[in-house]
Amino acid sequence: MIDLIVFRIGTNKYAINIENIQRIIQAVSLTSIPNANSFIDGMMSHEDKVIKVLSFRRLIGMPSYNEELSVLFTKLKGAHGAWVEALQTAVNTKSEFTKTTNPHMCELGKWIDSFTSYDDSIATIFNNLVENHKQLHHKGQDILDMNKTDEKTAKTMLDVDINNIYVKTMGALDTFVAEIETVANSLQKLIIYEKGEKVFAIKVDEIEDIVHADETSIKSSSDEESDNPFLQLEGVLELNGNLINMIKSVEIPH
C-alpha cells in the first residue's frame, strides 16, 4: 500500500507518492531566474534555502494559470456585455429576456461561488466584485418588473442604473486582471518535493486529497512513454470513478 497526494491541473488529476513530499504551502510571489528553462517559474526562499519552482502546467504543455485566468475574465466580461445588450433589447421591444437575473446562475456567478482566497487584498477586491455583480442582476430583474407597468421609468433605470452598476462590475473584474499574479497565487499550491539531495517546489492548481492506495490497482497507460525527460508516469489509478495519472518521478531542469 502507498500514500499519495492527489492534485489537480485543469480538469486532470495526478498522484504523487507522499514519501517525496516535505510539505504543501500556498503559492507565493517568485523571483525570476534569467535564462531559466521555460518549465521553471522562478525561485523562492524555503527553510533558509533558495529553491526553484517548477510549473507543472508548463511541464505538461498547458498554459500558465495566469494566462488561463486572463482568458476566463475576458470571456466573462464579454458575456456580461451581451447580458446588458439583451436586457436593453427586452425592455425596448417588450420581448422576453432569455438570460438569467439570478447572480448565482450566470458564468461569472458560478465562478464567484467557486472562488476561495485567503489573501486579504484579493478578498477586498473580490467582495467588491460580488456586491456589484449581485446588484447588476437584481437591478435587471427590477427593471423587467417595472417595464410591465411603467415603461418610461424602466428605460430610465436601464440607461442610468444598469450602466452605472455594469461599469463598476467590470471595473472590479479589471482589478482582478491587474492583480492576476496575486489572484493565481491565492488559488495555487506549492508541493515541496525532495529527491535525493535535490529540493524544489512544484506549482499545482489545487490539492484534491491524500489517499491510501494499493499498488496493484495501478494500471498501465499509453501516456507512460513520454518525450519529456523531467516527468515519468507509471500508469493510472482509478479512484471513486476518477482516473488519476500516477507520477513515478519528477526532475527539475538545470
Cell numbers 523562492 correspond to 44
Q: How many CA atoms lie within 13 A of 204 on its CB side?
A: 22
pTM: 0.82
Topology match between the domains 2-62+189-250 and 65-183: no
Q: What is the DSSP string of 190-236?
A: EEEEEETTEEEEEEESEEEEEEEE-GGGEE--GGGS-S-TTEEEEEE
The span from the CA of 208 to the CA of 240, in Å, is 13
pLDDT in tens, 111-170: 999 888 777 888 888 999 999 999 999 999 999 999 999 999 999 999 999 999 999 999
The span from the CA of 130 to the CA of 108, in Å, is 10
Close Cβ partners of 146 (under 8 Å, ≥ 6 residues apart): 153, 154, 157
Look at residue 136 in the predicted model and tell me its pLDDT.
Answer: 97
Averaged pLDDT of the chain: 91
Look at residue 125 in the predicted model and tell me its pLDDT.
Answer: 87
pLDDT in tens, 215-254: 777 887 765 556 788 999 988 988 777 889 999 999 998 8
Asked if residues 215 and 2 have their Cβ atoms less than 8 Å apart, the reply is: yes
Look at residue 71 in the predicted model and tell me its pLDDT.
Answer: 92
| Three-point CA angle 230, 243, 232, nearest 5° | 15
Reference 133, options 158, 159, 160, 113; nearest CA is: 113
Look at residue 62 in the predicted model and tell me its pLDDT.
Answer: 94
| Low-confidence winner among 23-27, 87-91, 139-143, 210-214 (lowest mean pLDDT) | 210-214
Provide the CATH number for the domain formed by 65-183 in this structure. Answer: 1.20.120.30
In CATH terms, the fold of domain 2-62+189-250 is OB fold (Dihydrolipoamide Acetyltransferase, E2P) (2.40.50)
Look at residue 220 in the predicted model and tell me its pLDDT.
Answer: 79
Whether pLDDT at 36 is above 70:
yes
Close Cβ partners of 129 (under 8 Å, ≥ 6 residues apart): 112, 169, 172, 173, 175, 176
The span from the CA of 227 to the CA of 4, in Å, is 25
Whether pLDDT at 206 is above 70:
yes
Amino acid, single-letter form, for residue 227: D
Residue extents of the structural domains in the chain? 2-62+189-250, 65-183
Look at residue 225 in the predicted model and tell me its pLDDT.
Answer: 55
Look at residue 170 in the predicted model and tell me its pLDDT.
Answer: 94
The span from the CA of 143 to the CA of 164, in Å, is 14
- For residues 14 and 223, the model is more confident at 14
Q: Which of 32-36, 45-49, 201-205 has the highest mean pLDDT?
A: 201-205
Q: Could you tell me what percent of the chain has a pLDDT over 90?
A: 66
Distances (CA, A) of 174 to 52, 99, 219, 225: 31, 23, 45, 42
53 falls in which pLDDT band (50, 70, 90)?
A: very high
Asked if residues 77 and 64 have their Cβ atoms less than 8 Å apart, the reply is: no
